[in-house]
Amino acid sequence: MDSNEHEHVIEVTDLRRVYGGGFEAVRGVSFSVARGELFALLGTNGAGKTSTVELLEGLATPAGGRVRVLGHDPYVDRAAVRPRTGVMLQEGGFPSELTVAETARMWAACTSGARPTEEALGLVGLVRRAGVRVKQLSGGERRRLDLALALLGNPEVLFLDEPSTGMDAEGRRDTWELVRSLREGGTTVLLTTHYLEEAEQLADRLAIMHDGRIAAAGTPAEVTASQPSRISFELPPGYFVGDLPPLAELGVSGHEVDGRVVRLRTRELQRTATGVLMWAARAGVELHRLDVRAASLEEAFLRIAREASGAPATERERV
Amino acid sequence: MSTGARVSTGARVSTVTTPAGRMGALARAELTLFGRSKATLFSALFVPLVVPISTRSAFPESDLDEAGLTVGLVMLNAAIGFSLLFAVYMSLTAIFTARREELVLKRLRTGELRDTEILAGAAIPAVVTGLLQSLLLAVGLTVLVDVPAPEAVHLAVLGVLLGLVMCVVLAAFTASYSRTVESAQVTTLPLLFVSMFGSGIAVPMEVLPDRLASVLALLPLSPVMKLVQGGWSGDLSASEALGSMTLALAWTLAAVFAVRRWFRWEPRH
Protein backbone atom coordinates (compact mmCIF):
# COMPACT_ATOMS: atom_id res chain seq x y z
CA MET A 1 0.00 0.00 0.00
CA ASP A 2 3.01 2.33 -0.08
CA SER A 3 1.73 5.12 -2.22
CA ASN A 4 5.16 6.07 -3.55
CA GLU A 5 5.31 2.79 -5.42
CA HIS A 6 2.74 4.07 -7.84
CA GLU A 7 4.39 6.20 -10.41
CA HIS A 8 0.95 6.92 -11.83
CA VAL A 9 -1.54 7.98 -9.24
CA ILE A 10 -4.37 7.89 -11.75
CA GLU A 11 -4.53 5.38 -14.56
CA VAL A 12 -7.38 5.24 -17.03
CA THR A 13 -7.48 2.67 -19.80
CA ASP A 14 -10.04 2.57 -22.59
CA LEU A 15 -12.74 3.90 -20.30
CA ARG A 16 -16.37 3.78 -21.38
CA ARG A 17 -19.54 5.02 -19.78
CA VAL A 18 -23.05 4.39 -21.01
CA TYR A 19 -26.12 5.97 -19.40
CA GLY A 20 -29.44 4.29 -18.87
CA GLY A 21 -30.96 5.53 -22.13
CA GLY A 22 -28.06 4.01 -24.08
CA PHE A 23 -26.21 7.31 -24.50
CA GLU A 24 -22.47 6.66 -24.64
CA ALA A 25 -20.93 9.62 -22.82
CA VAL A 26 -17.37 8.29 -22.61
CA ARG A 27 -16.07 6.31 -25.56
CA GLY A 28 -12.67 4.84 -24.90
CA VAL A 29 -10.65 7.34 -22.92
CA SER A 30 -7.10 6.57 -21.75
CA PHE A 31 -4.66 8.73 -19.83
CA SER A 32 -2.54 8.67 -16.72
CA VAL A 33 -1.55 11.24 -14.15
CA ALA A 34 1.76 11.05 -12.29
CA ARG A 35 2.18 11.85 -8.61
CA GLY A 36 2.27 15.58 -8.02
CA GLU A 37 1.07 16.39 -11.49
CA LEU A 38 -1.80 18.70 -12.38
CA PHE A 39 -3.80 17.26 -15.24
CA ALA A 40 -6.64 19.17 -16.88
CA LEU A 41 -9.52 17.74 -18.87
CA LEU A 42 -10.70 20.43 -21.21
CA GLY A 43 -13.81 20.37 -23.32
CA THR A 44 -17.08 21.96 -24.28
CA ASN A 45 -20.22 21.21 -22.31
CA GLY A 46 -21.29 17.66 -23.00
CA ALA A 47 -17.82 16.54 -24.06
CA GLY A 48 -17.79 13.85 -21.37
CA LYS A 49 -15.49 15.48 -18.79
CA THR A 50 -17.79 15.10 -15.81
CA SER A 51 -18.87 11.62 -16.87
CA THR A 52 -15.20 10.64 -16.91
CA VAL A 53 -14.30 12.27 -13.60
CA GLU A 54 -17.26 10.67 -11.82
CA LEU A 55 -15.84 7.27 -12.73
CA LEU A 56 -12.48 8.29 -11.26
CA GLU A 57 -14.22 9.50 -8.11
CA GLY A 58 -15.82 6.07 -7.77
CA LEU A 59 -19.40 7.29 -8.02
CA ALA A 60 -20.27 4.79 -10.75
CA THR A 61 -18.84 1.75 -12.49
CA PRO A 62 -17.58 2.03 -16.06
CA ALA A 63 -19.33 0.19 -18.89
CA GLY A 64 -15.89 -0.81 -20.09
CA GLY A 65 -12.22 -0.21 -19.49
CA ARG A 66 -10.32 0.24 -16.26
CA VAL A 67 -9.76 2.94 -13.67
CA ARG A 68 -7.08 2.89 -10.99
CA VAL A 69 -6.66 5.60 -8.39
CA LEU A 70 -3.70 5.13 -6.04
CA GLY A 71 -3.55 1.58 -7.34
CA HIS A 72 -7.14 0.73 -6.43
CA ASP A 73 -10.46 0.48 -8.16
CA PRO A 74 -12.14 3.61 -6.77
CA TYR A 75 -15.62 2.05 -6.82
CA VAL A 76 -14.91 -1.39 -5.40
CA ASP A 77 -12.12 -0.42 -2.99
CA ARG A 78 -13.68 2.82 -1.89
CA ALA A 79 -12.72 2.28 1.73
CA ALA A 80 -9.06 2.27 0.67
CA VAL A 81 -9.29 5.20 -1.74
CA ARG A 82 -11.70 7.70 -0.18
CA PRO A 83 -9.60 8.69 2.85
CA ARG A 84 -6.86 9.77 0.44
CA THR A 85 -8.90 11.68 -2.13
CA GLY A 86 -10.71 15.01 -2.06
CA VAL A 87 -13.61 15.66 -4.41
CA MET A 88 -15.31 18.81 -5.60
CA LEU A 89 -18.26 17.95 -7.81
CA GLN A 90 -19.41 20.15 -10.63
CA GLU A 91 -22.41 21.02 -8.55
CA GLY A 92 -21.92 20.55 -4.85
CA GLY A 93 -24.80 19.42 -2.71
CA PHE A 94 -25.17 20.81 0.76
CA PRO A 95 -28.35 21.11 2.79
CA SER A 96 -29.46 24.69 2.27
CA GLU A 97 -30.60 25.17 5.87
CA LEU A 98 -27.26 24.32 7.48
CA THR A 99 -24.69 27.03 8.12
CA VAL A 100 -21.25 26.98 6.59
CA ALA A 101 -19.71 26.00 9.93
CA GLU A 102 -22.26 23.23 10.55
CA THR A 103 -21.65 21.82 7.08
CA ALA A 104 -17.89 21.87 7.59
CA ARG A 105 -18.18 20.27 11.03
CA MET A 106 -20.28 17.44 9.62
CA TRP A 107 -17.78 16.83 6.83
CA ALA A 108 -14.82 16.98 9.16
CA ALA A 109 -16.34 14.25 11.31
CA CYS A 110 -16.66 12.09 8.19
CA THR A 111 -13.10 12.73 6.99
CA SER A 112 -10.07 10.85 8.28
CA GLY A 113 -7.26 13.14 9.37
CA ALA A 114 -9.37 16.24 8.93
CA ARG A 115 -7.73 19.57 9.59
CA PRO A 116 -9.58 22.04 11.82
CA THR A 117 -12.64 23.40 10.03
CA GLU A 118 -11.58 27.04 10.55
CA GLU A 119 -8.33 26.24 8.80
CA ALA A 120 -10.14 24.72 5.82
CA LEU A 121 -12.55 27.65 5.62
CA GLY A 122 -9.58 29.98 5.95
CA LEU A 123 -7.94 28.46 2.87
CA VAL A 124 -10.84 29.62 0.74
CA GLY A 125 -11.56 32.85 2.59
CA LEU A 126 -14.91 31.81 4.04
CA VAL A 127 -14.22 32.25 7.76
CA ARG A 128 -16.32 35.41 7.99
CA ARG A 129 -19.27 33.57 6.42
CA ALA A 130 -19.13 30.65 8.87
CA GLY A 131 -22.44 31.50 10.52
CA VAL A 132 -24.34 31.98 7.27
CA ARG A 133 -26.78 29.40 5.95
CA VAL A 134 -25.73 27.70 2.73
CA LYS A 135 -28.84 28.97 0.92
CA GLN A 136 -27.69 32.55 1.48
CA LEU A 137 -24.27 32.03 -0.11
CA SER A 138 -23.54 33.30 -3.60
CA GLY A 139 -22.72 30.79 -6.33
CA GLY A 140 -19.03 31.57 -6.00
CA GLU A 141 -19.10 31.20 -2.20
CA ARG A 142 -20.77 27.82 -2.55
CA ARG A 143 -17.93 26.71 -4.82
CA ARG A 144 -15.45 27.90 -2.21
CA LEU A 145 -17.23 25.92 0.49
CA ASP A 146 -17.15 22.87 -1.74
CA LEU A 147 -13.42 23.36 -2.27
CA ALA A 148 -12.81 23.79 1.46
CA LEU A 149 -14.52 20.47 2.16
CA ALA A 150 -12.52 18.75 -0.58
CA LEU A 151 -9.36 19.96 1.18
CA LEU A 152 -10.41 18.99 4.71
CA GLY A 153 -8.51 15.73 4.77
CA ASN A 154 -5.26 16.96 3.13
CA PRO A 155 -5.96 14.68 0.18
CA GLU A 156 -3.17 13.14 -1.86
CA VAL A 157 -5.36 13.28 -4.93
CA LEU A 158 -7.78 16.09 -5.61
CA PHE A 159 -10.59 15.96 -8.18
CA LEU A 160 -11.89 19.40 -9.12
CA ASP A 161 -14.81 19.47 -11.54
CA GLU A 162 -15.01 23.00 -12.93
CA PRO A 163 -13.83 24.55 -9.67
CA SER A 164 -14.04 28.21 -10.66
CA THR A 165 -17.36 28.18 -12.49
CA GLY A 166 -19.63 30.85 -11.01
CA MET A 167 -16.78 32.68 -9.29
CA ASP A 168 -15.95 36.30 -9.98
CA ALA A 169 -12.57 37.22 -11.43
CA GLU A 170 -11.00 37.69 -8.01
CA GLY A 171 -12.35 34.41 -6.68
CA ARG A 172 -11.00 32.67 -9.74
CA ARG A 173 -7.49 34.12 -9.19
CA ASP A 174 -7.61 33.11 -5.52
CA THR A 175 -8.67 29.60 -6.46
CA TRP A 176 -5.87 29.31 -8.99
CA GLU A 177 -3.39 30.51 -6.40
CA LEU A 178 -4.65 27.91 -3.94
CA VAL A 179 -4.57 25.09 -6.49
CA ARG A 180 -1.02 26.08 -7.42
CA SER A 181 0.12 26.01 -3.81
CA LEU A 182 -1.50 22.59 -3.33
CA ARG A 183 0.34 21.29 -6.35
CA GLU A 184 3.59 22.70 -5.00
CA GLY A 185 2.84 20.82 -1.80
CA GLY A 186 2.75 17.57 -3.76
CA THR A 187 -0.96 17.08 -4.26
CA THR A 188 -1.95 15.34 -7.49
CA VAL A 189 -4.77 17.30 -9.09
CA LEU A 190 -7.22 16.32 -11.79
CA LEU A 191 -9.21 19.31 -12.92
CA THR A 192 -11.89 19.78 -15.54
CA THR A 193 -12.63 23.14 -17.00
CA HIS A 194 -14.05 24.86 -20.01
CA TYR A 195 -11.93 27.94 -19.31
CA LEU A 196 -8.92 27.68 -21.59
CA GLU A 197 -7.01 30.19 -19.53
CA GLU A 198 -7.49 28.06 -16.43
CA ALA A 199 -5.98 25.02 -18.13
CA GLU A 200 -3.18 27.08 -19.65
CA GLN A 201 -2.34 28.66 -16.29
CA LEU A 202 -2.48 25.57 -14.12
CA ALA A 203 -1.99 22.36 -16.04
CA ASP A 204 1.23 20.42 -16.39
CA ARG A 205 -0.54 18.33 -18.97
CA LEU A 206 -3.99 18.44 -20.46
CA ALA A 207 -6.35 16.54 -22.69
CA ILE A 208 -9.03 18.08 -24.85
CA MET A 209 -12.19 15.98 -24.88
CA HIS A 210 -14.84 16.04 -27.51
CA ASP A 211 -17.80 13.74 -27.95
CA GLY A 212 -16.61 11.33 -25.30
CA ARG A 213 -13.11 10.96 -26.70
CA ILE A 214 -9.76 12.59 -26.19
CA ALA A 215 -9.07 14.65 -29.29
CA ALA A 216 -5.65 16.00 -28.27
CA ALA A 217 -3.35 15.56 -25.29
CA GLY A 218 0.02 16.71 -24.04
CA THR A 219 1.57 19.68 -22.28
CA PRO A 220 -0.15 22.98 -23.09
CA ALA A 221 2.88 23.81 -25.28
CA GLU A 222 2.66 20.50 -27.15
CA VAL A 223 -1.04 20.80 -27.80
CA THR A 224 -0.59 24.37 -28.94
CA ALA A 225 2.37 23.47 -31.15
CA SER A 226 0.31 20.87 -32.95
CA GLN A 227 -1.80 23.71 -34.30
CA PRO A 228 -0.78 25.98 -37.19
CA SER A 229 -0.34 29.73 -36.77
CA ARG A 230 -2.42 32.07 -38.87
CA ILE A 231 -1.89 35.18 -40.96
CA SER A 232 -4.75 37.05 -42.57
CA PHE A 233 -4.98 40.29 -44.52
CA GLU A 234 -7.00 42.04 -47.19
CA LEU A 235 -5.60 41.90 -50.73
CA PRO A 236 -4.73 45.38 -51.95
CA PRO A 237 -6.96 46.63 -54.81
CA GLY A 238 -5.93 45.15 -58.15
CA TYR A 239 -4.04 42.23 -56.59
CA PHE A 240 -4.99 38.54 -56.56
CA VAL A 241 -3.76 35.57 -54.58
CA GLY A 242 -1.69 34.51 -57.58
CA ASP A 243 0.29 37.73 -57.27
CA LEU A 244 1.75 36.56 -53.95
CA PRO A 245 5.04 34.64 -54.00
CA PRO A 246 4.53 30.85 -54.33
CA LEU A 247 2.84 29.93 -51.05
CA ALA A 248 4.86 26.74 -50.54
CA GLU A 249 8.03 28.80 -50.56
CA LEU A 250 6.61 30.93 -47.76
CA GLY A 251 6.06 27.81 -45.67
CA VAL A 252 2.28 28.05 -45.98
CA SER A 253 0.55 24.75 -45.25
CA GLY A 254 -2.93 25.82 -46.32
CA HIS A 255 -4.87 28.88 -47.38
CA GLU A 256 -8.33 30.15 -48.09
CA VAL A 257 -9.73 33.23 -49.76
CA ASP A 258 -12.89 34.84 -48.49
CA GLY A 259 -13.83 37.76 -50.74
CA ARG A 260 -10.79 40.06 -50.59
CA VAL A 261 -9.47 38.46 -47.39
CA VAL A 262 -6.69 35.89 -47.55
CA ARG A 263 -6.04 33.50 -44.68
CA LEU A 264 -2.80 31.54 -44.52
CA ARG A 265 -1.96 28.68 -42.17
CA THR A 266 1.64 27.95 -41.35
CA ARG A 267 3.85 26.08 -38.95
CA GLU A 268 6.71 28.47 -39.65
CA LEU A 269 5.18 31.76 -38.59
CA GLN A 270 8.34 33.84 -38.85
CA ARG A 271 9.21 32.63 -42.34
CA THR A 272 5.68 33.12 -43.68
CA ALA A 273 5.20 36.50 -42.04
CA THR A 274 8.56 37.76 -43.29
CA GLY A 275 7.78 36.57 -46.82
CA VAL A 276 4.40 38.27 -46.90
CA LEU A 277 5.68 41.54 -45.46
CA MET A 278 8.72 41.62 -47.77
CA TRP A 279 6.42 41.08 -50.73
CA ALA A 280 4.16 43.92 -49.61
CA ALA A 281 7.16 46.20 -49.12
CA ARG A 282 8.56 45.36 -52.55
CA ALA A 283 5.16 45.93 -54.19
CA GLY A 284 4.74 49.12 -52.19
CA VAL A 285 1.27 48.18 -50.94
CA GLU A 286 -0.34 48.42 -47.53
CA LEU A 287 -2.00 45.25 -46.16
CA HIS A 288 -5.23 46.27 -44.49
CA ARG A 289 -6.71 44.23 -41.64
CA LEU A 290 -3.38 42.46 -41.20
CA ASP A 291 -3.56 39.89 -38.41
CA VAL A 292 -0.67 37.65 -37.45
CA ARG A 293 -1.57 35.11 -34.82
CA ALA A 294 0.63 32.52 -33.18
CA ALA A 295 -0.94 29.15 -32.44
CA SER A 296 -2.80 29.14 -29.12
CA LEU A 297 -4.63 26.67 -26.98
CA GLU A 298 -7.79 28.48 -27.93
CA GLU A 299 -7.12 27.85 -31.61
CA ALA A 300 -6.50 24.20 -30.88
CA PHE A 301 -9.64 23.96 -28.81
CA LEU A 302 -11.88 25.69 -31.32
CA ARG A 303 -10.47 23.70 -34.19
CA ILE A 304 -11.02 20.41 -32.42
CA ALA A 305 -14.56 21.39 -31.56
CA ARG A 306 -15.19 22.49 -35.15
CA GLU A 307 -13.60 19.54 -36.89
CA ALA A 308 -14.98 16.92 -34.61
CA SER A 309 -18.51 18.27 -34.75
CA GLY A 310 -18.34 18.85 -38.49
CA ALA A 311 -16.96 15.55 -39.70
CA PRO A 312 -18.64 12.74 -37.80
CA ALA A 313 -22.08 14.35 -37.71
CA THR A 314 -23.71 11.21 -39.01
CA GLU A 315 -22.15 9.21 -36.24
CA ARG A 316 -23.49 11.61 -33.64
CA GLU A 317 -26.96 11.36 -35.00
CA ARG A 318 -26.93 7.63 -34.60
CA VAL A 319 -26.60 7.99 -30.85
CA MET B 1 -6.25 32.53 0.95
CA SER B 2 -3.20 31.41 2.81
CA THR B 3 -0.40 29.00 2.15
CA GLY B 4 -1.61 26.61 4.82
CA ALA B 5 -2.30 24.16 2.06
CA ARG B 6 1.36 23.27 1.87
CA VAL B 7 1.03 20.20 3.95
CA SER B 8 3.25 17.27 3.34
CA THR B 9 1.15 14.30 2.36
CA GLY B 10 3.72 12.06 3.99
CA ALA B 11 2.83 13.14 7.49
CA ARG B 12 -0.57 11.66 8.05
CA VAL B 13 -0.99 11.44 11.75
CA SER B 14 -4.60 10.97 11.61
CA THR B 15 -7.80 10.33 13.33
CA VAL B 16 -9.40 7.63 11.24
CA THR B 17 -13.17 7.87 11.04
CA THR B 18 -15.43 5.02 12.14
CA PRO B 19 -18.87 4.07 10.84
CA ALA B 20 -20.45 5.11 14.15
CA GLY B 21 -18.63 8.44 14.11
CA ARG B 22 -19.63 9.17 10.54
CA MET B 23 -23.27 8.25 11.08
CA GLY B 24 -23.31 10.27 14.28
CA ALA B 25 -22.07 13.35 12.42
CA LEU B 26 -24.71 12.90 9.77
CA ALA B 27 -27.41 12.34 12.38
CA ARG B 28 -26.39 15.51 14.16
CA ALA B 29 -26.66 17.52 10.95
CA GLU B 30 -30.04 15.96 10.19
CA LEU B 31 -31.26 16.75 13.68
CA THR B 32 -30.33 20.40 13.16
CA LEU B 33 -32.22 20.37 9.86
CA PHE B 34 -35.16 18.62 11.50
CA GLY B 35 -35.46 21.45 14.00
CA ARG B 36 -35.38 24.01 11.20
CA SER B 37 -38.12 22.51 9.06
CA LYS B 38 -41.58 23.52 10.30
CA ALA B 39 -43.35 21.13 7.95
CA THR B 40 -41.38 18.14 9.20
CA LEU B 41 -41.79 19.20 12.81
CA PHE B 42 -45.54 19.45 12.37
CA SER B 43 -46.09 16.11 10.68
CA ALA B 44 -43.57 14.25 12.82
CA LEU B 45 -44.39 15.68 16.23
CA PHE B 46 -47.88 17.13 16.19
CA VAL B 47 -49.83 14.66 14.05
CA PRO B 48 -48.97 11.47 15.96
CA LEU B 49 -49.75 13.16 19.27
CA VAL B 50 -53.09 14.58 18.24
CA VAL B 51 -54.60 12.18 15.70
CA PRO B 52 -54.97 9.17 18.05
CA ILE B 53 -57.25 11.21 20.27
CA SER B 54 -59.65 11.53 17.36
CA THR B 55 -60.03 7.74 17.23
CA ARG B 56 -61.39 7.86 20.74
CA SER B 57 -64.96 8.56 19.67
CA ALA B 58 -64.78 6.74 16.32
CA PHE B 59 -66.12 3.43 17.58
CA PRO B 60 -68.98 2.84 19.98
CA GLU B 61 -67.71 1.19 23.11
CA SER B 62 -70.22 -1.61 22.74
CA ASP B 63 -68.59 -2.71 19.46
CA LEU B 64 -65.18 -2.65 21.07
CA ASP B 65 -66.37 -4.61 24.11
CA GLU B 66 -67.69 -7.29 21.79
CA ALA B 67 -64.25 -7.49 20.15
CA GLY B 68 -62.55 -7.63 23.52
CA LEU B 69 -60.96 -4.19 23.15
CA THR B 70 -60.95 -1.01 25.17
CA VAL B 71 -60.87 2.56 24.01
CA GLY B 72 -57.43 2.88 25.54
CA LEU B 73 -55.98 -0.03 23.58
CA VAL B 74 -57.44 1.28 20.32
CA MET B 75 -55.89 4.68 21.00
CA LEU B 76 -52.57 3.10 21.90
CA ASN B 77 -52.42 1.15 18.64
CA ALA B 78 -53.36 4.24 16.70
CA ALA B 79 -50.72 6.29 18.51
CA ILE B 80 -47.86 3.91 17.78
CA GLY B 81 -49.03 3.32 14.21
CA PHE B 82 -49.31 7.02 13.45
CA SER B 83 -45.95 7.65 14.99
CA LEU B 84 -44.37 5.03 12.70
CA LEU B 85 -46.17 6.38 9.65
CA PHE B 86 -45.80 10.12 10.17
CA ALA B 87 -42.67 10.59 12.26
CA VAL B 88 -40.67 7.90 10.48
CA TYR B 89 -42.07 6.79 7.13
CA MET B 90 -43.43 10.04 5.77
CA SER B 91 -40.80 12.40 7.11
CA LEU B 92 -37.94 10.16 5.97
CA THR B 93 -39.38 9.78 2.48
CA ALA B 94 -39.38 13.58 2.24
CA ILE B 95 -35.88 13.82 3.71
CA PHE B 96 -34.32 11.19 1.44
CA THR B 97 -35.98 12.80 -1.59
CA ALA B 98 -34.92 16.31 -0.59
CA ARG B 99 -31.31 15.30 0.02
CA ARG B 100 -31.13 13.52 -3.29
CA GLU B 101 -32.60 16.46 -5.22
CA GLU B 102 -30.27 18.91 -3.44
CA LEU B 103 -27.38 16.65 -4.58
CA VAL B 104 -26.48 16.10 -0.93
CA LEU B 105 -26.53 12.31 -1.29
CA LYS B 106 -24.27 12.46 -4.33
CA ARG B 107 -21.82 14.72 -2.51
CA LEU B 108 -21.84 12.47 0.55
CA ARG B 109 -21.03 9.47 -1.62
CA THR B 110 -17.76 11.12 -2.68
CA GLY B 111 -16.58 10.88 0.92
CA GLU B 112 -15.84 8.08 3.30
CA LEU B 113 -19.46 7.33 4.24
CA ARG B 114 -20.73 4.06 2.81
CA ASP B 115 -24.12 3.95 1.11
CA THR B 116 -25.89 2.25 4.00
CA GLU B 117 -24.30 4.64 6.47
CA ILE B 118 -25.68 7.61 4.55
CA LEU B 119 -29.25 6.35 4.69
CA ALA B 120 -28.99 4.99 8.23
CA GLY B 121 -27.26 8.09 9.59
CA ALA B 122 -29.81 10.42 8.02
CA ALA B 123 -32.61 8.26 9.48
CA ILE B 124 -31.40 8.38 13.09
CA PRO B 125 -33.24 11.54 14.22
CA ALA B 126 -36.55 10.28 12.78
CA VAL B 127 -36.09 6.83 14.30
CA VAL B 128 -35.30 8.28 17.71
CA THR B 129 -38.32 10.56 17.41
CA GLY B 130 -40.54 7.59 16.57
CA LEU B 131 -39.13 5.59 19.47
CA LEU B 132 -39.51 8.35 22.05
CA GLN B 133 -42.96 9.16 20.78
CA SER B 134 -44.14 5.55 21.08
CA LEU B 135 -42.73 5.38 24.58
CA LEU B 136 -44.25 8.69 25.62
CA LEU B 137 -47.66 7.84 24.17
CA ALA B 138 -47.67 4.40 25.77
CA VAL B 139 -46.82 5.82 29.18
CA GLY B 140 -49.19 8.76 28.72
CA LEU B 141 -52.12 6.60 27.74
CA THR B 142 -51.45 4.16 30.55
CA VAL B 143 -51.58 6.98 33.05
CA LEU B 144 -54.39 9.01 31.51
CA VAL B 145 -56.75 6.48 29.84
CA ASP B 146 -56.93 3.28 31.89
CA VAL B 147 -54.71 1.27 29.49
CA PRO B 148 -53.59 -1.76 31.45
CA ALA B 149 -49.88 -2.44 31.84
CA PRO B 150 -48.57 -4.60 28.98
CA GLU B 151 -48.62 -8.36 29.59
CA ALA B 152 -45.66 -9.10 27.31
CA VAL B 153 -43.57 -5.94 26.97
CA HIS B 154 -40.89 -7.71 24.93
CA LEU B 155 -43.34 -8.35 22.08
CA ALA B 156 -44.44 -4.72 22.01
CA VAL B 157 -40.84 -3.52 22.03
CA LEU B 158 -39.95 -5.99 19.30
CA GLY B 159 -42.91 -4.82 17.24
CA VAL B 160 -41.95 -1.17 17.54
CA LEU B 161 -38.32 -1.88 16.65
CA LEU B 162 -39.26 -3.97 13.63
CA GLY B 163 -41.69 -1.27 12.60
CA LEU B 164 -39.03 1.42 12.85
CA VAL B 165 -36.55 -0.48 10.68
CA MET B 166 -39.22 -1.38 8.16
CA CYS B 167 -40.42 2.22 7.90
CA VAL B 168 -36.88 3.48 7.25
CA VAL B 169 -36.38 1.02 4.41
CA LEU B 170 -39.85 1.62 2.98
CA ALA B 171 -39.17 5.37 3.08
CA ALA B 172 -35.96 4.88 1.07
CA PHE B 173 -37.91 2.78 -1.40
CA THR B 174 -40.70 5.34 -1.71
CA ALA B 175 -38.12 8.09 -2.18
CA SER B 176 -36.68 6.22 -5.15
CA TYR B 177 -39.84 7.00 -7.15
CA SER B 178 -40.60 10.42 -5.64
CA ARG B 179 -39.26 13.19 -7.84
CA THR B 180 -39.69 16.10 -5.45
CA VAL B 181 -40.52 16.69 -1.82
CA GLU B 182 -44.00 17.76 -2.93
CA SER B 183 -44.58 14.55 -4.87
CA ALA B 184 -43.36 12.60 -1.85
CA GLN B 185 -46.51 13.82 -0.08
CA VAL B 186 -48.49 11.90 -2.70
CA THR B 187 -46.28 8.83 -3.15
CA THR B 188 -46.50 8.12 0.58
CA LEU B 189 -50.31 8.13 0.58
CA PRO B 190 -50.92 4.55 -0.62
CA LEU B 191 -48.99 2.95 2.22
CA LEU B 192 -50.38 5.51 4.66
CA PHE B 193 -54.02 4.74 3.85
CA VAL B 194 -53.58 1.02 3.39
CA SER B 195 -51.86 0.82 6.78
CA MET B 196 -54.31 3.10 8.57
CA PHE B 197 -57.32 1.12 7.46
CA GLY B 198 -55.84 -2.31 6.83
CA SER B 199 -53.17 -2.83 9.46
CA GLY B 200 -55.16 -2.07 12.57
CA ILE B 201 -54.02 1.50 13.12
CA ALA B 202 -57.09 3.69 12.60
CA VAL B 203 -59.54 0.77 12.40
CA PRO B 204 -59.06 -2.17 14.76
CA MET B 205 -58.69 -5.43 12.83
CA GLU B 206 -61.23 -6.99 15.21
CA VAL B 207 -64.12 -4.94 13.81
CA LEU B 208 -63.41 -6.07 10.23
CA PRO B 209 -64.93 -9.18 8.61
CA ASP B 210 -62.70 -12.20 9.34
CA ARG B 211 -61.86 -13.08 5.75
CA LEU B 212 -60.91 -9.49 4.90
CA ALA B 213 -58.88 -9.25 8.10
CA SER B 214 -56.92 -12.40 7.27
CA VAL B 215 -55.90 -10.93 3.90
CA LEU B 216 -55.08 -7.54 5.38
CA ALA B 217 -52.93 -9.27 7.98
CA LEU B 218 -50.36 -9.75 5.23
CA LEU B 219 -49.81 -5.98 4.79
CA PRO B 220 -46.37 -4.64 5.83
CA LEU B 221 -47.38 -2.95 9.07
CA SER B 222 -49.98 -5.56 10.08
CA PRO B 223 -47.50 -7.92 11.78
CA VAL B 224 -45.93 -4.93 13.54
CA MET B 225 -49.24 -3.79 14.96
CA LYS B 226 -50.16 -7.35 15.86
CA LEU B 227 -46.98 -7.66 17.93
CA VAL B 228 -47.66 -4.33 19.64
CA GLN B 229 -51.23 -5.30 20.43
CA GLY B 230 -50.15 -8.76 21.55
CA GLY B 231 -47.62 -7.15 23.81
CA TRP B 232 -50.37 -5.44 25.73
CA SER B 233 -53.00 -8.16 25.67
CA GLY B 234 -50.52 -10.99 26.21
CA ASP B 235 -52.70 -13.39 24.23
CA LEU B 236 -50.32 -13.90 21.31
CA SER B 237 -49.04 -17.47 21.18
CA ALA B 238 -45.34 -18.10 20.55
CA SER B 239 -46.06 -19.38 17.06
CA GLU B 240 -48.23 -16.36 16.25
CA ALA B 241 -45.50 -14.05 17.48
CA LEU B 242 -42.91 -15.89 15.43
CA GLY B 243 -45.15 -15.74 12.36
CA SER B 244 -45.56 -11.98 12.75
CA MET B 245 -41.84 -11.50 13.20
CA THR B 246 -41.11 -13.54 10.08
CA LEU B 247 -43.65 -11.61 8.02
CA ALA B 248 -42.26 -8.26 9.21
CA LEU B 249 -38.73 -9.36 8.41
CA ALA B 250 -39.79 -10.62 4.99
CA TRP B 251 -41.32 -7.24 4.14
CA THR B 252 -38.20 -5.48 5.39
CA LEU B 253 -35.89 -7.71 3.35
CA ALA B 254 -38.05 -7.25 0.25
CA ALA B 255 -37.82 -3.50 0.74
CA VAL B 256 -34.04 -3.72 1.24
CA PHE B 257 -33.80 -5.59 -2.03
CA ALA B 258 -35.96 -2.98 -3.78
CA VAL B 259 -33.83 -0.15 -2.38
CA ARG B 260 -30.61 -1.78 -3.52
CA ARG B 261 -32.11 -2.26 -6.94
CA TRP B 262 -33.94 1.03 -7.50
CA PHE B 263 -32.71 3.69 -5.12
CA ARG B 264 -31.29 6.68 -6.97
CA TRP B 265 -28.47 8.71 -5.44
CA GLU B 266 -28.85 11.71 -7.69
CA PRO B 267 -31.66 13.39 -9.60
CA ARG B 268 -32.59 12.02 -12.99
CA HIS B 269 -30.53 13.54 -15.77
Confidence category of residue A291, pLDDT binned at 50, 70, 90? very high
- The percent of residues in chain A predicted with pLDDT above 90, rounded, is 74
Q: What digits encode the pLDDT tens for the residues A68-101?
A: 999 999 999 999 999 999 999 998 789 999 999 9
pLDDT at A315: 35
Give the Cα separation of A175 and B153 in Å (integer).
60
CB proximity list for B187: less than 8 A, separation 6 or greater: B93, B174, B177, B178
CB contact under 8 A, A181 and B3: yes
CB contact under 8 A, A113 and B106: no
Q: Which of B6, B8, B17, B117 to mutate to test the interface with A (most CBs of A within 10 A)?
A: B17
Nearest CA in chain B to A82: B112
CB atoms within 10 A of CB A286: 10
* Residue B61: pLDDT over 90: no
The alpha carbons of chain A give a radius of gyration, in whole angstroms, of: 24
In single-letter form, the type of residue at position A198 comes to: E
Higher pLDDT, A315 or B25: B25
Q: Give Cα separations from B43 to B24, B130, B131 (angstroms).
A: 24, 12, 15
CB contact under 8 A, B12 and A113: yes
Using an 8 Å CB-CB cutoff, list chain B residues near A94: 102, 104, 107
* Residue A313: pLDDT over 70: no
Give the Cα separation of A239 and A242 in Å (integer).
8
Confidence category of residue B141, pLDDT binned at 50, 70, 90? confident
DSSP B87: I
Question: Between A and B, how many residue pairs show a Cβ–Cβ distance under 8 A?
Answer: 123
CB A194 within 8 A of CB A181: no
CB contact under 8 A, A59 and B1: no
In terms of residues, how long is chain A?
A: 319
Using an 8 Å CB-CB cutoff, list chain A residues near B106: 59, 89, 93
Decide if B58 touches A, using CB distance below 8 A. no
Q: Does an H or E element contain B122, and which?
A: helix B115-144
Q: Give Cα separations from A269 to A127, A272, B234 (angstroms).
A: 50, 5, 96
CB B137 within 8 A of CB B83: yes
* Residue B189: pLDDT over 90: yes
Give the Cα separation of A275 and B127 in Å (integer).
81
Nearest CA in chain B to A125: B1
Nearest CA in chain A to B17: A112
DSSP A99: B
Residue of B192, B190, B240, B187 lying closest to B217 (CA atoms):
B240
* Residue A318: pLDDT over 50: no
Decide if B38 touches A, using CB distance below 8 A. no
Give the Cα separation of A133 and A145 in Å (integer).
12
pLDDT at B53: 72
Binding-face residues of B in 100-129 toward A, CB within 8 A: 102-114
> Helical H runs in chain A?
49-56, 78-81, 100-109, 117-123, 139-151, 169-184, 196-202, 220-225, 269-283, 297-310, 313-318
CB contact under 8 A, B16 and A113: yes
In single-letter form, the type of residue at position B97 comes to: T
Q: What digits encode the pLDDT tens for the residues A102-132?
A: 999 999 999 999 999 999 999 999 999 999 9
CB contact under 8 A, A98 and B29: yes
CB A1 within 8 A of CB A22: no
Give the Cα separation of A275 and A260 in Å (integer).
19
State the smallest CA–CA distance between residue B19 and chain A in angstroms.
9
State the smallest CA–CA distance between residue B239 and chain A in angstroms.
42
CA atoms within 13 A on the CB side of A214: 19
Q: Which of A57, A96, A110 sits opposite B113 (nearest CB)?
A: A110
CB contact under 8 A, A59 and B106: yes
CB contact under 8 A, B33 and A93: no
